[in-house]
Amino acid sequence: MLEFLSAVSILLALLNPFLVIVYLFDIVKTLDRKRFYRVLLVAAAISAAVFSCFALIGDVIFSSVIQAEFASFQIFGGIVFLLIGIQFVFKGPSAVEILNGKSENLAGAIAMPVLIGPGTLSASVVVGKRLEPLVACGAIVLALGISVSLMLVLKELHDYVRQKREYLVQRYIEVAGRVTALYVGTIAVEMIMRGLQTWAQQF
């Protein structure tokens, strides 16, 4: 049970809904409640399928299919995360420009790269090694369910508060955007350093 709760907490830390919602701020403003729910649930279903695959056969994917070291994925993923973090510092939520497209394409754009990122994929591989297959998938689904549920609540709060106190919404985005940039940048550097350390141990 402790391993299961630990796995859920690791995934929740990376799927932090209070920070992820900053990425999604443009669509939170433009989509109505029904379409936002539908897009987010589809994105969560896609993410759950991908995370489960990496939890079950993550090592096989890297060693046999991609034929690359996991360290290479960590380094490249860290660089991508670092670029996003730097853009967030200067541009804010608009840094994720792919989320400005049509609503029918948003589910895939939210799934990748907002939910499915180097950090969450790495965590899924670790969870798959620690837990039994079905238990690992259960932990992934539970973490995604909690994260998505909180984001839906935040959407409701946004729509309610925006009508009366729009400046509070803008202030939250400003503060959370800076926190997001620091968080993403820190995770990115950590991923790069771990990947380099793994490569160095081979020599």
pLDDT confidence band for 49 (50 / 70 / 90): very high
Query: What pLDDT was estimated at residue 137?
Result: 94
Gap between the Cα atoms of 140 and 146, Å rounded: 10
Domain ranges of the chain: 2-200
Give the mean pLDDT of 3-15. 86
Q: Above 90 in pLDDT, residue 45?
A: yes
Q: Above 60 in pLDDT, residue 99?
A: no
Cα→Cα distances 18→86, 176, 178, Å: 19, 8, 13
Residues in the chain: 203
Query: What pLDDT was estimated at residue 63?
Result: 67
Q: pLDDT > 70: what percent of the chain? A: 81
Query: What pLDDT was estimated at residue 52?
Result: 94
Q: Above 70 in pLDDT, residue 104?
A: no
State the CB neighbour count (10 A cutoff) for residue 116: 20
pLDDT digits (tens, 9 = 90+) for 109-132: 777 767 887 778 888 888 888 899
Q: pLDDT > 90: what percent of the chain? A: 19
Q: Above 90 in pLDDT, residue 142?
A: yes
pLDDT digits (tens, 9 = 90+) for 159-191: 877 666 767 766 766 676 677 777 777 877 887
Q: Above 80 in pLDDT, residue 53?
A: yes
- Residue 94 DSSP symbol: G
- Helix 2-14 and helix 133-164, axial crossing angle in degrees, nearest 10: 40
pLDDT confidence band for 67 (50 / 70 / 90): low
Query: What pLDDT was estimated at residue 111?
Result: 79
- Residue 92 DSSP symbol: G
Query: What pLDDT was estimated at residue 119?
Result: 76
